[in-house]
Amino acid sequence: MEPKKAKESRIINTAQVLLTDLNNYNTLFGGVLMKKLDDAATLSARRHSRVKECVTASTDSIDFLCPIHQTDSVCVESFVTYTGTTSMEIFCKVIAEDILTGERRIAATAFLTFVALGKDKRPVDVPGIVPETEEEIFLYNTGKERAEMRKFRRQKSKELAAYITVKKPWDE
């Protein structure tokens, strides 16, 4: 399978911030932004793997760096930065732009991992990635370390799950 350029998976979604998107601080709800990130990352994963279904395996982090206001547009840019055999790491950056002044700022960053699924709902191999820009090369070169941290964190989550109850509090 031929590797693909990172830019081939790039998705850019820009939207205005609506009143219904705002929390009680008059800034964009974190959950609204999280959905935008997952939507863009899903498309990047599907574009890279060219399969019908890709599922979110993990969200490493969403780092909210500055608030997004109603006077801003919000641009989510995502692309594949690193791949395993069946998994793809997607980097998302959120750019807020003050529509009145034109000032642009990085409002958030996130890493999500997706797995490509075949018709039988089983993981399928995905192409490797070819980074070209300075940003893509940096993210690619640091991808293996993030993948190892993800595996460690997943193992710890499984260990934790063994101790968590599913009983209803009133049934104990």
Fold exhibited by the domain 4-171: Thiol Ester Dehydrase; Chain A (3.10.129)
**Single-letter amino acid, residue 107:** A
Closest Cα to residue 70, out of 11, 12, 108, 15? 15
H or E element that contains 147: helix 143-161
Domain boundaries, the chain: 4-171
3 state SS for 12-77: EEEEECCHHHECCCCEECHHHHHHHHHHHHHHHHHHHHCCCEEEEEEEEEEEECCCCECCEEEEEE
44-99 pLDDT tens trace: 999 999 999 999 999 988 999 999 999 999 999 999 999 999 999 999 999 999 99
Tell me the pLDDT tens digit for each residue of 6-40.
999 999 999 999 999 999 999 999 999 999 999 99
- Verdict on whether the full-model pTM lies above 0.75: yes
